[in-house]
Structures are given as C-alpha cells and as structure tokens.
Structure 1
C-alpha cells in the first residue's frame, strides 16, 4: 500500500487530489497539509512514501518544504504547479523533488505519477524539462565548477548520464549503449553515488547545470566507446 501525503493551500485542490488517490486500492492518503511547515511536520510524523507538494504556498513554500522533507525523510516528493516553466519547480528539482505535475493533470496521470515516483522513477517529461532547465540555466544558473565532478565518472557512466538527461528509460539507454538493463541500472546507481545525488531527477538537473548536456543537443553516445 502506497502512503501519500497531500500538501496544498487550496482546499479544493487538496481535497480533490486526496479523493482521486484514495479511490485506488493500492494507495491511501495518510494526511493532508495546508502549508509547507505543516507538510514537513506531517511528513516526519507520518513517514509517507510520496508527498504531493504544491509548489507555491504561504509561509514555508514548496521549495523549502521539499528540501526539508528530502533531508529528513525517505519520502519522494512530487511537486504541483500551474505553469510548465516555473522557477519554483526548477528550484524544487534541485532540492530533491522526483518530478512535477501541472495542476490540471488528468486523474489517471496523477495516479500513474504517484506510483512511478514511489517505485524510484523520476517524472520529468523530456520536452518540458529541457525547456524548464534551459530557461533557468540560461539565466546564469549554470555552475561550471560542477564540470570537475564529472571526472569521477567512467566513460560509460557519463554516456548513461547524457541519455538519462534526455529522458531515456533504462531500456532505451541499454539499447543505445548495447548493454543489458541490469548494467544500466548499475551505471545509474554508481553515478548517483559518486555525484551524491538523491535520484534520477537530480541527475538530470546536474547534467544540464554542469554543461554535460545542452538543451537542444541531440548527440547520441557511441555504443563502441570504452
């Protein structure tokens, strides 16, 4: 049973999301929060698997709440926003969020998203993510010093990170690199550990901020490398 906490300062959204999720046998909403501070407190108390977090809330906003939840619990955070290019979402991804959804998300997509992030996947639509990251990295957010940390990765781990940042699944990465999915999972696990990243979503942000991947770049790593 997946345990979910829903945090949103608007009663209508909060109640609606909770009702949709509770209608499924494998999901239970263990609590609701009306602001970021309450979301953090309840996440620590209730230890949910997933926190559905509104990004814009009064007081402690969704970005800071996400950072605290990721720091103090093992919960995955899925942020909600009204806009597909939103600086708050970018900051939440850097803070540890596993993905984001627009608030007008379809019921089935909401449920699928919760299941995906609970299972350890990230939820980042490639087209939206590239636009989002390009928007804010392009404003001087890029951090060239991160490039030095790429030296800790093997060639194969670097290739895996490039493809992961372009939205490829493990199966697609395996096909591109002509290796098994098990090998790809090992590469992903190793690169997350070496770069001290929480999950695939943070790896995507790292790939863009370090300059390893540039929005619009379609280069595909060669399968015959090292």
Structure 2
C-alpha cells in the first residue's frame, strides 16, 4: 500500500511512520502537515489526525471516499464521539484512539489492506444503543444471514441474489432486524454485527 499520514504534529506523524513502516503490506509512506496533499497522488491509505479544530476537513475526506478507492483511517486523540458518528456516516474505513497500542495500529492497517474495517471497540459500543435483551439470538437464521450481508456492505439486490430470495423479502427481513435490535439504519446494523463479533474486522 502507498500510505500518506496527515497531521499538524510532527511527533504524531513520525510515530505512526515508525509503527507501520515494518508492516509488509506498506510499500511506501509519505507524511505531511497539509491536508491538501491527499490529492497529490493516488494513495491506497490516508491516515488523518482529526480533532475539533480541523473538523472542516471531513468534507474533503468525504469527497475522497466518493471520488477514489483510497482507504481512510482517522486518528482521534480526544475520543470525540460526535466526530466518530460523522465519520461513520461518510464511510470512513478505520477509526482509532490515542490510547491504542502500537501493535493494534499495525493490525488496523493490515485489516484495511485486506478490505476490512477497523473501528475502536469502545466507540462502537457507545455509538449503538441497545438493551441487554437485544441479542443476536432474537433474529431468525435468515435474518442473521442478511445481517451478515449488510455488515459486508452488500445491497438488497446483491443479498437477494446471494440468498436466492426476492428483493422485497430482503427489505422485509431488514425491517425486522432493525425493529428487533432497535437500530435505525444499515450503518448501525453493520456496526452492531462487528461489535457482537458476528462479522470480524
């Protein structure tokens, strides 16, 4: 992977470089304090240090997600749950906090290289609100299958073809899943699946 690390802090940039430079999936690493540098090359992974003072760059990250295939991982040193929620809405691929171990940062990079997601488990738990009785066991086998498909980012049409059922049936099961687990949308359903270990990061 071609990686760029964006942070206004030289210490943060150098620290991340040192941590991930030993990963075999990382072919090259660039670092910069300018967020506009994400457009200078076609990077496979963009690691961005975001905080309350530079949230305006979320728009730029959303544009990158829409215009190219780059993976984006956000560094959050303030455990900003509002920022996390906004990042989820625009499809950020990874989200890590400052207290993460260096080994976990390397693991997160490898997961993104495999096409998977990596989000801080504590933030996921707080992002989704559900009671103790709302467990995966409440779902039927078919609903569990559809939940897994949703977590993998499949559309209703793709799910219908994979499970040999109509798109209408998929929509009906999806509504039941949302109701049983007290979830609002597909993003929350996907995060629920990851949080419960139904789908691995």
TM-score (norm 2): 0.63
Matched, 1:96 2:91: yes
2:98 aligned with 1:123: no
Aligned ranges for residues 132-211 of structure 1 at < 5 Å?
132-134=127-129, 156=142, 159-160=144-145, 162=147, 188-191=153-156, 208-210=183-185
Alignment check: 8 A CA contact 2:45 2:70 kept: yes
2:61 counterpart residue number: 66
Is 1:80–1:102's contact at 8 Å kept on the other side of the alignment?
A: yes
Distance in 1, matches of 2:95 and 2:48, equals 9
Shift of residue 84, structure 1, vs aligned partner: 3.8
Equivalent residue, structure 2, for 1:105: 100
Q: Measure how far apart 1:83 and its partner are.
A: 3.8
Q: For 1:33-72, what aligned pairs fall within 5 Å after superposition?
A: 33-36=32-35, 38=36, 42-56=37-51, 58=53, 61-72=56-67
**How far does the alpha carbon of each residue in 1:67-110 deviate from its partner, in whole angstroms, 9 at most, with x for none?**
12212220111111124452112101111201210123222111
Q: Provide the C-alpha distance between the structure 2 equivalents of 1:122 and 1:8, rounded to a whole number of angstroms.
A: 21
The SS at the match of 1:46 is: coil
**Contact 2:81-2:123 at 8 Å conserved across structures:** no
Matches of 2:14 and 2:157 in 1, distance apart? 35
Partner of 1:7: 6
50-59 or 68-77, larger mean C-alpha shift: 50-59
TM-score, normalising length: structure 1: 0.57
1:165-191 deviations in Å (ceiling 9; x for gaps): 8x8xxxxxxxxxxxxxxxxx7xx5344
1:198: which partner in 2?
A: none
Partner Cα distance (1:90, 1:159) in 2: 25
Output the aligned Cα RMSD.
3.5
Structure-2 separation of matches of 1:128 and 1:163:
21
Question: For residues 62 and 114 of structure 1, do their structure 2 counterparts lie closer, same or farther at Cα, with a shift above 3 Å needed?
Answer: farther
Q: Following the alignment from structure 1 to structure 2, what is the Cα–Cα distance between the partners of residues 11 and 56?
A: 15
Distance 1:164 1:125 in 2: 21
